[in-house]
Every structure is written in C-alpha cells, then in structure tokens.
Amino acid sequence: MREITYGEAGVEALREEMARDSSIVYIGQGIGPRGGNFRQTRGLWKEFGDHRLRDTGICELGETGVAIGAAMNGCRAVVDEVFLDFILEAMTQVVQQAATIHYLSNGKIKVPVVIRGAMGSVRNAGAQHAHSFYSWFAHTPGLKVVVPATPRDCKGLFKTALRQDTPVLFIEHKALYNIKEAVPTEEYLIPFGEASVRRSGKDATLVAVGRMVHVALEAAAALDRDGISVEVIDPRTIAPLDRKTIVDSVRKTGRLAIVDEAPSMCGFSAEVIAFACEQALDSMDAPPRRICSLHAPNPFSPVLEDQMLPTSTKVAHEIRQLIAA
C-alpha cells in the first residue's frame, strides 16, 4: 500500500468529499492559491476554484460566523482557522451560535460545519501558536471533537466529519503533518466514538490523543524492552467518547495513565480518570496517573519547552512508578 503524509491524507479526504458533494465550501486564510500554511489544501484551489475555496482576510470571527451561516442555508462549510490558537477570536460563533442552533431550533436547523485547526507545540513556535485547548470544545454540548493522530485516521475521520449534520471541531496536530503511513486508496470512513487500540498490553492502560499517541507508543516500546506490557488507547474523537474501550482495558490491566499535551487542570485527562474511577475503581490496583504539560504557557526556549511538555522518557518513568505502586 502507498504511504502518504498526514497532511496529504487531509487533502485527499477533502478532494474526495468536495468532488462527491458540490455543496461543500471551504473558507479560511491562505487556503486558495497558497494551498494552506500547512499545505493542508494543496492543489484544491486549482481543482475547485475561487468559488469553493474562499480565501479571506484575517478575520476569524467573521469567517467562522460566515461558515456557520452558510451551513444554516444549504451549504456544507469548512472553516479553517489554520492555527487552532486563532479560533479564540471566533469563540462566540463556535460556542454561542454553531453549538446551540440545532438544539434551540428544536432540530429544525442543521449546522453542517467543520471547524478545522491545528493544535499543539511545533518547533518552539512560542506560547500563542502552541495551545492544546482541544478539550474545551468537548465541554460544550452540541460540538463533536476529533483529534486524529495518524494519516489513516486523519483521512477517514475527516471524511466522516464532512458528512455530519452537526458542527465538528477537526483538530489536527501541527507537528504531525509530515508523518507518513500506509493509507488505503479505496474509499473508507472511520466512525466517530470508536477508540483505536494502538498497542495491546496487560500491565497498564495508557490513553493519549494527537501527537501524544506517538509519545505513548515510544514509551510503550521502551517499557516492552523491560518486560512491561502497556496497552495504548487512542480515543480519536473525544466527543463522542468511547468510554467502553478505556474502561474495559482498565478492567484488564488494573492500571491507568493518561498522557496529554494540555495541562491536567480540568482537562481531558481529568475526565478520563473521573469516568474510569466511576466505572472501574474496583479493578484498579494503583491510583491512576496523569502525565501532562506543566501548567504554564508554552515557553520559547527549547530547553524550557522540553521541560514543560510530556516526553516518552517522562511517560516511561511514570508508568514504571505506576507499575511499582
């Protein structure tokens, strides 16, 4: 099977869906002739033209609201914030409008909008281009939240997102655009709410999304050399969330840890531990652990940022502590 990058997988998903569904319009900054800051729309402008690839000025609030409005009137809209960090300019449209309209209209108005942005730290971009606040959106009723970790998932989940009738936050990771994986050429969709067990294991359950899936897998490989068997679970979508796969795994391994690029305070890691304890505390042999970014804005200095972010070394260390407990 041919290998393509995470970024190319997203482009393929878009190309296939835009060809299939003429109602899709794509709105964002630099997504036309330039093909996207992350090359996330490369080649599409030539194929689909100005009408469907709508370059805007720098106006996240306006362009996001426009996408939502278009989705209320028969289009399927994608708005690309490019850096997820920039969605903060548009949060009122996401949370107050997109997320509520279907419910408040008593189901009469559908809002098929995909709100796309890339999160996380990459190449020491500095605090304002490195946020990982993806879990905020899962806190808001009415939004689906997708956090793909691999090229194959990126394509399959993006295609599913482009067929939803409700708003979807499609949150890629900036540092993953160039990773490669074998991706099927034939069409496939990946349903929301189905976790992927990235690696089977029996001694501990390790949950991660986005780039941290790769950190978790590196740690698991290192631990395996020491005879510690870690099960790595990637929920892929955090709303809806596949709680069952995580709880079943904890019942099997008796130990739970989460590695998260976001801080632990009120984060996705807190939610995972909360429901795991609610549903499987009696199976736990040790208190669960969170391995998260430290509670600070991302610092610029590589030395400082490395100190702040979870690494596979830190994860392996924490899992050893968890097993010893």
Partner 1 sequence: MEIVATQDLDVRLSLDLYRGMLQLRDFELKVQELYRAGMLPGFVHLYVGEEAVAVGVCASLKRYDLVYSTHRGHGHALAKGVTGREVMAELWGKQTGCSGGRGGSMHMFAPEYGFMGTNGIVGGGIPLATGAALAAQLRNSGQVAVSFFGDGAVNSGSFHESLNIASVWNLPVVFACENNLYATEMAFHRATKNTGVASRGVAYNMPSVEVNGSDVHECFRTGREAIDRARSGGGPTLIEFKTYRFLGHHEGDPGTEYRTKDEVESWKRRCPIKAFRDKMISSKLASERDFEQIQLETDAWLEDAVQFSKSSPDPDPSTVLDFC
Is 108 a binding residue for partner 1 by CB under 8 A? The answer is yes
* Residue with smaller CB distance to partner 1, 33 or 297: 33
Distance CA 199, CA 218 (A): 11
Q: How far apart are CA 131 and CA 289, in angstroms?
A: 22
Site for partner 1, residues 67 to 86, rule: CB under 8 A: 67-75, 77
3-state secondary structure of 121: coil
Among 5, 29, 40, 56, binds partner 1 (CB under 8 A): 56
Number of CB atoms found within 10 A of residue 215's CB: 24
Candidate residues 59, 182, 266, 294; the one interacting with partner 1 per rule CB under 8 A:
59
Given a contact cutoff of 8 angstroms between Cβ atoms, the answer to whether 146 and 196 are in contact is: no
- Decide the pairing of beta strands 230-234 and 204-207: parallel
**Range list of H helices, 55-130:** 60-71, 91, 99-104
Among 52, 174, 199, 211, binds partner 1 (CB under 8 A): 52
**Toward partner 1, which CB reaches closer, 38 or 136?**
136
Helix or strand (DSSP H, E) at 263: strand 256-263
Residue 96 or 200: the one with the smaller Cβ distance to partner 1 is 96
Contact code string over 248-287 relative to partner 1, x by CB under 8 A: ----------------------------------------
Tell me the pairing of strands 168-173 and 144-146: parallel
Measured N-to-C along each axis, helices 151-161 and 6-20 cross at an angle, to the nearest 10 degrees, of: 30
In order of 41, 57, 116, 319, the CA distances from 146 in angstroms are 18, 26, 10, 26
- 3-state DSSP assignment of residue 169: strand
Asked if 102 touches partner 1 (CB under 8 A), the answer is yes
* Crossing angle of the two packed helices 268-280 and 243-253, in degrees rounded to 10: 60
- 29 interacts with partner 1 by CB under 8 A: no
Residue of the chain from 16, 30, 37, 62 that contacts partner 1 (CB under 8 A): 62
The C-alpha atoms of residue 236 and residue 242 are separated, in whole angstroms, by 9
Window 127-166: residues binding partner 1 (CB under 8 A): 141-142
The bridge status of strand 24-28 relative to strand 76-83 is: parallel
Q: Which of 11, 44, 53, 54 binds partner 1 (CB under 8 A)?
A: 54
**25 contacts partner 1 (rule: CB under 8 A):** yes
Among this protein's residues, is 129 annotated catalytic? yes
66 binds partner 1 (CB under 8 A): yes
Find the catalytic residue in 51, 102, 129, 173: 129
CB of 129 to partner 1, least distance (A): 21
Q: How far is the CB of 80 from partner 1 (least distance, A)?
A: 15
**Annotated catalytic sites, by residue?**
129
Give the binding site for partner 1 (CB under 8 A).
23, 25, 51-52, 54, 56-57, 59, 61-75, 77, 89, 92-93, 96-97, 100-109, 141-142
